[in-house]
Structure 1
Amino acid sequence: MTGVDTGLGREAAVDLGVFRSNVALLAARAVGGPLVIDMTADAYGHGLVRLARAAAESGADILSVRDQADADAISDARIGIDVHCWQTRRFAVPPAGSGIAAFGFGMELTDGAPDGVVPVMRVSAPVLSVKRVPQGHGVSYGFVYRTPKETTLALVPLGYADGLPRAATGSGRMAVGGTQFPVVGRIAMDQVVLDVGDAPIAPGDRAVAFGAGLDGEPTAADWAAATRSTAGEILARIGRRVPRRYIDREASR
């Protein structure tokens, strides 16, 4: 596990089995050129060395990085794969399957990710508290949101210091128990508030900011759409104080 454990239960679960399946799928479709996996920005926040090793084991031919320090880290880990650093060289052949398809998403300037790839990262935190409030109750800084009716608010310890974009104020959503709820009020540094209505949400329930989208939760692409950004940006923003937890299971296809 990497990152700083704050004791608040934040985590980014990274499924190595899903990543391997994505790479293997891309490798099977790579025709006319090597399969290049883009590992920039700490493998889009997933963890450079762990993901580099999994990529090499699953059919990738070349890893692409932006910084020499990243190339050195892969070399120091004795991972047997060619690494190209964009600071020092350019590809002699067009890369096949590059971009963030291996992490489960398509690029905005292409036709999207191939069928079958699944998002690899799941960011979540426990609900810290719930509060029943009346109609007109102001939420978060500046009270930009006031409850339209009596409702229940749930506090979740994920904020812009963890990588959630403040631009998602008023448009972001999280899931609890497979049901999505709106993020209301301004996204703060350390927390967000969900309006969960009359749902029986309790402290300790897991709130999922984004994941694979297979259990009713939003994906990084949903957060990107809400903020006019990209899935790659959403993934890479998730900060070091959100500990990474590595799991290894095959994706359901």
Structure 2
Amino acid sequence: MRRRIHIDLRAIRENSTRLLGSETASYADLRADAYGHGAVRVAEALDAEGYEGFIVSPEMDRASLLHLSTPLLHADAVNSDRITGGSLFGLTDRAYRPAMRVSAEILAVKDVEAGEGVSYGYSYVTPQRTQLALVGIGYAHGVVRRASNTAPVLIGEATRTIVGAISMDQFSVDLLGAPAQPGDLTILFGDPAAGEPSILDWQHATGIRAAAIASRMSPRFERSYT
């Protein structure tokens, strides 16, 4: 079963350059494991950028970052106006590139007739004969339940919506004619410049801040960095 998070460190460095160039940021915010992006890998990527300090969570094991030259600080030790915040990861507005891409494998594709309820509670009923894709990821992996019946995903070249209630380890997508087969990857959110839904699209769909969506992603994912 493939469940993947890819972090684009190049996007983080690009956002970092813009933030430092604006002269409003002196400290990089790496709290909540760098908003789910991996504090160690992000800190290593930004260590030579010229920050006065990295802001880390009080409970973080600092030993993993002691090899860096940038000081580690708590948020209460600095002026909050000088902290990068979610913009470093593309979590605040579309002016900054999102760095996190989340995807999961399609487990099954099944034909269903019109009028069939999907998932528990039947909050979605198929309006016509269609195919449903069952995607192997759910709230146990950090997918917010408010994405049920609201959030977009990308399957192949088609953007579709999660339908029915998100369960512990899976959710359904009404394909509406889009081609798909077991083993294909469904992209929850990633780079909108590549035609993928953005984490800001998820923020809009769910009413949950993008920073909270990213921070909830489980360590059970296979992770990669470039």
TM-score scaled by structure 1? 0.83
The correspondence for 1:146, drawn from 125, 128, 138, is: 125
- Asked whether the equivalents of residues 13 and 244 of structure 1 are also in contact (C-alpha less than 8 Å), the reply is yes
From 48, 51, 61, give the equivalent of 2:39: 48
- State the 1:215 CA deviation: 2.3
Q: Distance in 1 between matches of 2:4 and 2:168?
A: 16
Conserved 8 A contact 2:155-2:185: yes
Residue matched to 1:73: 64
- SS of match in other structure, 1:142: coil
Q: Aligned letter for 2:122?
A: F
Per-residue Cα deviation, 1:33-87 (whole angstroms, up to 9, x for no partner): x521110111111111110111212333321112153444322xx011022123x
Map of 1:146-185 to 2, 5 A cutoff? 146-185=125-164
Runs (5+) with no aligned partner, structure 1: 1-7, 107-111, 248-253
Instruction: State how far apart, in whole Å, the 2-side matches of 1:205 and 1:172 are.
Output: 19
Partner SS state of residue 60, structure 2: helix
TM-score, normalised to structure 2, is 0.93
Q: Give 5+ residue unaligned stretches, structure 2.
A: none
Letter in structure 2 aligned against 1:22: N
1:194-233 matches, cutoff 5 A: 194-233=173-212
Closer, same or farther in 2 for the Cα pair 1:158/1:68, shift >3 Å?
closer
- 3-state SS, counterpart of residue 43 of structure 2: helix
Task: Name the counterpart of 2:77.
Answer: 90
Give the Å deviation of 1:181: 0.6
RMSD of aligned alpha carbons: 1.7
- Tell me by how many angstroms 1:214 deviates: 1.7
| 1:62 aligned residue (36, 44, 53) | 53
- Deviation of residue 121 (structure 1)? 0.6
Cα deviation for residue 207 of structure 1 reads 0.5
- Give yes or no for contact 1:23–1:60 (8 Å, CA) kept in 2: no
| Total equivalences in the alignment | 226
Judge conservation of contact 1:134–1:149 (CA < 8 Å) in 2: yes
